[in-house]
């Protein structure tokens, strides 16, 4: 596609410029400024694309547990730390532990992986109170996304630590979709896995249509 009337290929930078500028002044927080305020994000800022959470591997290869260990890379450590921090913020330190145990019970991660993730509790401030019940469905979707991201990193890096529990992740380990054995694909979705030029060529895994 493309062309002057294609509503998909519009110029985001131009659009933002239109929203921020009135004549020769710049709009910010209800005021007009002669110079572009520094508080405004840059015009060409783009969203962080998290498509790498998509798993590789055939449907048959997808099996629980999805995550066998936290990858030893800087990216892996960062994701685990942010994951734990998010859980603590919403459900307290106790709730975060409960949540990780819950995810282990669902088969999202192994006991070893759960312990490794729990270790990151030391990296965030302790917060009393809270429980697993404080976490919403949206929080669990987020946790599943982080699990997926870590597992994908482990696959990509061939991280030895990811196999620390000795379960031996299968080559090209994949996952089954939580809550259903029939991962759905939607031909109408333009960014379906496998069609994204920025993402890896994947075999059709799509993120959870059901989460417990």
Stretch that binds another protein, among 98-106, 134-142, 152-160, 167-175 (CB under 8 A): 134-142
> Least separation, in Å, of the C-beta of 5 and another protein?
4
Contacting another protein within 5-34 (CB under 8 A) = 5-8, 10, 12, 14-23, 27
Task: Name the DSSP class of 150.
Answer: H
CA-nearest of 118, 53, 110 to 80 is 118
Q: Under the criterion CB under 8 A, does residue 122 sit at the interface with another protein? A: no
* Count, residues near another protein per rule CB under 8 A: 51
**121 to each of 77, 88, 144, 163, 196, how far by Cα in Å?**
12, 8, 18, 22, 35
**C-beta of 102: minimal distance to another protein in Å?**
14
Of 54, 70, 84, 121, the one binding another protein by CB under 8 A: 54
Q: Which of 32, 126, 160, 209 binds another protein (CB under 8 A)?
A: 209
CA distance to 35, 39, 40, 128, per residue, from 26 (Å): 7, 12, 10, 45
Applying the rule CB under 8 A, the residues between 156 and 195 that interact with another protein are 184, 186, 188-191
Structure-token pair, residue 199:
């993402």
C-beta of 12: minimal distance to another protein in Å?
5
101 vs 145 by CB, closer to another protein: 145
Instruction: Give the DSSP letter string of 87-145.
Output: HHHHHHHHHHHHHHHHHHHHTSB-HHHHHHHHGGGGGS----S--GGG--HHHHHHHHH
Q: Are 45 and 199 in contact (CB under 8 A)?
A: no
Query: CA 41, CA 174: separation in Å to the nearest integer?
Result: 37
Nearer to another protein, 10 or 126 (CB): 10
Stretch binding another protein (CB under 8 A), from 47-55, 62-70, 123-131, 154-162: 47-55
CB of 59 to another protein, least distance (A): 17
Q: Are 99 and 91 in contact (CB under 8 A)?
A: yes
Q: Return residues touching another protein (CB under 8 A).
A: 1, 3-8, 10, 12, 14-23, 27, 41, 45-51, 53-54, 136-139, 141-142, 145-146, 148, 184, 186, 188-191, 206-211
């Amino acid at each position: 596609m493309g062309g002057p009337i294609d509503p998909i290929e519009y110029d985001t930078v131009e659009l933002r410029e239109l929203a921020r500028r009135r004549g020769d002044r710049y709009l910010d927080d209800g005021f007009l400024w002669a110079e572009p305020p520094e508080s405004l994000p840059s015009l060409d800022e783009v969203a962080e694309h998290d498509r790498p959470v998509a798993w590789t591997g055939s449907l048959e290869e997808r099996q629980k547990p999805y995550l066998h260990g936290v990858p030893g890379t800087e990216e892996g450590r960062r994701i685990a730390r942010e994951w734990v921090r998010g859980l603590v913020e919403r459900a307290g330190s106790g709730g975060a532990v409960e949540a990780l145990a819950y995810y282990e019970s669902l088969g999202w991660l192994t006991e070893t992986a759960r312990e490794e993730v729990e270790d990151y509790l030391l990296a965030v401030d302790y917060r009393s109170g809270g429980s697993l019940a404080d976490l919403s469905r949206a929080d669990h979707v987020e946790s599943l996304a982080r699990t997926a991201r870590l597992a994908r990193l482990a696959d990509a890096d061939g991280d030895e630590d990811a196999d620390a529990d000795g379960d031996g992740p299968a080559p090209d380990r994949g996952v089954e979709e939580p809550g259903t054995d029939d991962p759905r694909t939607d031909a109408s979705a333009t960014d379906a896995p496998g069609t994204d030029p920025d993402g890896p060529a994947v075999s059709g895994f799509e993120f959870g249509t059901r989460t417990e």
